[in-house]
Structure 1
C-alpha cells in the first residue's frame, strides 16, 4: 500500500487546493473522469458557450418590434461545437499535463473506492492511503430506469453538447435549470423543442412568481408539457424521427403522451457520487439525499463527529451544486488542511445562482414563501416589491414586457432577505444585491447611498429598493456607524 501526505479525490475544484503552501507534500490526485471536473468539461462553461450564441439568435426574433428586421440565416452547429471544445479540451489536457510534471504530485486517472477509513482502492486494484484526504468527486446526471434509456438517441448534459448535428426535434425531460438552459439553446438555434416535466411547475426551487413568469415566456418559444411521467423511449425507423418518447399521466395511467424526437435530453437532476465512492465503507456519514455529511469547516462526518483527516467539498457534499460554492469550499479546505488550530467556516448565507435560459433568471436568499414563514417564526414583518423592467427608461428602450425584479426585506430594519430576477442580464443585475446582503447593507442605504447610472438597466434594482416599505434610517445602518454588525 502506498502512503501519501494528501489524497485529493476529484480534479475540479479540489485540484485548486494545491498552491505553493503544499509544495513539500507528497500528493495524489485521483479522478476517473475527464481532468478538470464537471464545470469545465460538461457543465457551466460549455453550456454558457452555447447559451450566448443562442441568446444572440433569440434576440433576432425580438428585433422587429424595435423597427429592425433581423433573422438567423445559418447555424453552423459543428463549427460552434468545435470552437467550444477545441478550447475546453486543450485546457483540460493542459491541466492534466501540468500536474503530471510536478515531482510531488501523482495523478491516478481511474476511479477509486473506499475500502476502510482513509484507505482507497483504485479501479486497477492498487490501495493508497493518507492521513489527510479531500473528497471532491462531484456528482453525475440521474438517468431514470425506463426502457430505452440507453439508446444512442438519449443524452444527458454530459453528452448532448458533443453531438454531430443540430437535431430537428428535441424532447427535453425535466423542468429544472439544466432543462431550461438546453431548451433555450436548441430552440433558439432552430430545433423544434418540447420540454416535458413531471410536476405542473417548472423551476420548483425558485420563487413561484419567477417560475410562473418564466413558464409564460418559455411557452412562447418552445412547447411545454407538464404533469407527465417518462415511461419509455423507443427507437423509431423512418424519416419522421429517430426515437419515440412515451409519457403517462400519473393521475390516470391510461392517458399517454407520445412525442417524436431525434434527440432526447434527460435532465431529471444530478446525484452525488457517494455511492460509487462507497463512502460508507470509509466510515463516512451519508445523508438521506445522498450527500456526504460535512460540518461548517468542510470536515466529513463519521457518526455525527468529524472524521479524522477527511474533508469534502463541492457537489458530493453541497446541496447547491454550484461552481462558485465549490470554489469557496475549496478555499476553506485549503486553509484548514494546513491550519488545524485556526479553522475557518464556509459562509453559505447568501448563495446566488443563475439560469442562463430565455429569459435569464437569477436569485439569492429566501423566496417570498420562505420569508413569510421566517417572519412568523421571528415575530416580525416583511415587505415585498416587484419592479418591472419595462417601468424603467432602458426597459422602454428594449420594449421589455418580460423582466422583473422582486425584492423581499424585513420591514422594520430594511434587511434584504431575498432577491429574484427574471429578464435580460439578470445574472449581472443581482450582484449588487448579493453584495448588500453579504455586507449587511439595508435597502434604503443601498438605494440612496450611491449613484445609479441613468438610464442603465440597473435602475430596475434601484427602483425596487426604493419601493420597499422600509425605514430611511435603518437600525442596520446605525449598527454600521458604531462599528458593529
Structure 2
C-alpha cells in the first residue's frame, strides 16, 4: 500500500485542492475517466457554451431581417464547429493530466477507486491491474454522470445512436433530426444549439412543462418560444427504440415509439388514455438528469454514509461520516453547478489544513443560468416560493422592450422579474429571460448577498445609458417597497 498525505478522488474541482499548503507533501489524484479535468471542462459548461455561441451566430442570421438586414445562412460546417471546441479543450485536459502525472509532489492514478478500509482505497485500471493507496485525508470529488433509463439504455447497448451530454458534442456529422428526451436545462440548451444549426428537434417530456424549476412567468415566455422553435410534446414518454434499417452518418436511423397521455391527471392533458405514435430520427439525446457518481465507491466499507439518492452525506464544512474523509461538488449536493463545486473546493482546501478554523459551504443566494434561447438566469425564490413565506411581497416585471437598448434589439420577449419584501426593501428573488441574462443578473446577486435595499442599489450608482443594464435599474425602481437610505440619488 502506498500512503499519501492527501488523496483526491476526481480531477474536476477536486484538482484545485492541491494548494501551496501542500507544497512538499505527498498528494495523490485518482481519475477514472480518460479525460482529465472533470465534467465542466470536458463535457459540460465550457464546451456547451462554445456550441451555444455557434448556435447564436446561426440564429442571428435568421433574426437579422427584423433589423432591416436581409441575410442567408449559407452553410453550417459541423466538423469545424466541433473541432473549434475540442481543439481548445482537449489540449487543456491533456496538459492538466501531464502536469499532475509529472508533478514533483503529485501522483496520478488512472483508474476507478473504491474503499477497502478506513481511508484506504483500491484503484483498478482499465486493464484490470490494481494498486492500493491510503491517505491521512481523502476527498471524494467524483462528480455526477448522466442517467440513462430503460428502454434507452438497452437501445444504446444495442448500438443505436443514443447519446447523453457526454457524447453528443463529438458527433461525426450534424444529424438531420434529433429526439431529445427530457425537459430540463440540458434539453433546453441542446435543443437551442442543434435547432439553430438546422436540425429538426423533437422534445418529449413526461411532465406538462419544461424547466419546471423556473418562475412561472419565465417558464411561460420560454414555453412560447420553445413551441415555435421545436416540436415539443409534453406528457410523452419513449417506450421503445428500434432501428429502421436505414443508415446515417451517425449510425442506424432510429424509430421511436412514443406514448403520450396525462401522467396522473388526464384532464390537464385532455386525454383519457394513452396515444401511441412513431417518430423516425437520426439520433436520440437523453437528457433525463444526472446522478451522483458514488455507486462504485463502496463508501460503506470506508465508513462513508450515502443517502438513498446516492449523495454522499456531509456536514456544513464538507466532512463525511468517516473521520478524515471529505466530499465536495455534485457527489454531495443536488445543486449541480460548477460555481458551487468551486466554492466548496475552496472551503475544503482551507479546512484540510486549518482544522481549528473551519469554514462552511455557502448555501444561500446560489444563482443559475440556462444558456438556451432566450437565455435565462435566476437567483433566490420564485414568486410561488416567496408567497409561502407569508411576507408582504412587492413584485415588478420589467420588459426589455421598454428600455432604449431593448428598442435597439427589437426585443419582444425579454423581461426582468424581481420579488422583494415590501417591509424591508430586500430582494427575495430575481429572474431574467432574454439576451445576456446570465450577466445582467450579477448586480442582483450582489444586492442579495450583501443585503442591500433595492432602491439603494438603483440610486446608489450610475447606470450607463443606454446600456441593457437599465432594464435592471428600472425593475429595481419599480418595486413598491419602503424607502431606502441613499441621500444622493444618481
* Same fold by TM-score greater than 0.5: yes
Cα distance in 1, alignment partners of residues 156 and 204 from structure 2: 16
Q: What is the deviation of 1:239? A: 6.8
- Contact persistence 2:11–2:36 (CA under 8 A): yes
Q: Paired residue for 1:203, among 198, 204, 211?
A: 211
Equivalent runs, 1:3-18 vs 2, <5 Å? 3-18=3-18
Show the counterpart of 1:231.
Answer: 239
Q: What is the deviation of 1:187? A: 0.5
Q: Which runs of at least 4 in structure 1 moved beyond 6 Å after TM superposition?
A: none
Show the counterpart of 2:133.
Answer: 128
User: SS state of the match for residue 5, structure 1?
Assistant: strand
Show the counterpart of 1:75.
Answer: 76
Equivalent runs, 1:86-485 vs 2, <5 Å? 86-123=87-124, 124-146=129-151, 147-150=154-157, 151-238=159-246, 242-249=253-260, 251=262, 254-300=274-320, 302=321, 307-374=322-389, 376=390, 380-473=391-484
Q: What is the deviation of 1:250? A: 5.2
Cα distance in 2, alignment partners of residues 447 and 194 from structure 1: 42
How many equivalent pairs are there?
Answer: 467
Q: What is the deviation of 1:71? A: 2.0
Show the counterpart of 1:49.
Answer: 50
Q: What is the deviation of 1:443? A: 0.6
User: SS state of the match for residue 148, structure 1?
Assistant: helix
Q: What is the deviation of 1:25? A: 1.4
Cα distance in 1, alignment partners of residues 150 and 273 from structure 2: 18
User: SS state of the match for residue 73, structure 2?
Assistant: coil
User: SS state of the match for residue 229, structure 2?
Assistant: coil
Q: What is the deviation of 1:352? A: 0.8
- Contact persistence 2:374–2:433 (CA under 8 A): yes
Which has the higher mean CA deviation after the structures are superposed, 175-184 or 317-326? 317-326
Cα distance in 2, alignment partners of residues 356 and 348 from structure 1: 23
Cα distance in 2, alignment partners of residues 179 and 60 from structure 1: 23
Cα distance in 2, alignment partners of residues 99 and 327 from structure 1: 19
Q: What is the deviation of 1:102? A: 1.3
Measured against aligned partners, the alpha-carbon deviations of 1:64-105 in whole angstroms (never above 9, x if no partner) come to: 111111221111000111121111110000001111121221
Cα distance in 2, alignment partners of residues 360 and 53 from structure 1: 14
Can you give the 5+ residue segments of structure 1 that lack an aligned partner in the other structure? 479-485
Show the counterpart of 1:482.
Answer: none
Cα distance in 2, alignment partners of residues 397 and 83 from structure 1: 31
Please tell me the root mean square deviation across aligned C-alpha atoms, in Å: 1.6
User: SS state of the match for residue 155, structure 2?
Assistant: coil
Cα distance in 2, alignment partners of residues 473 and 249 from structure 1: 52
User: SS state of the match for residue 64, structure 2?
Assistant: helix
Measured against aligned partners, the alpha-carbon deviations of 1:119-158 in whole angstroms (never above 9, x if no partner) come to: 2111133221112001100000000121424333100000
User: SS state of the match for residue 246, structure 1?
Assistant: strand
Q: What is the deviation of 1:278? A: 2.3
- Contact persistence 1:149–1:233 (CA under 8 A): no
Cα distance in 1, alignment partners of residues 41 and 203 from structure 2: 26
Measured against aligned partners, the alpha-carbon deviations of 1:261-314 in whole angstroms (never above 9, x if no partner) come to: 1010000000001112222232212123321111111112x2xxxx31111111
- Contact persistence 1:408–1:419 (CA under 8 A): yes
For the structure 1 residues 37 and 253, does the alpha-carbon distance in structure 2 shift closer, same or farther, using more than 3 Å as the test? farther
- Contact persistence 2:160–2:243 (CA under 8 A): no
User: SS state of the match for residue 406, structure 1?
Assistant: strand
User: SS state of the match for residue 445, structure 2?
Assistant: helix
- Contact persistence 2:454–2:484 (CA under 8 A): no
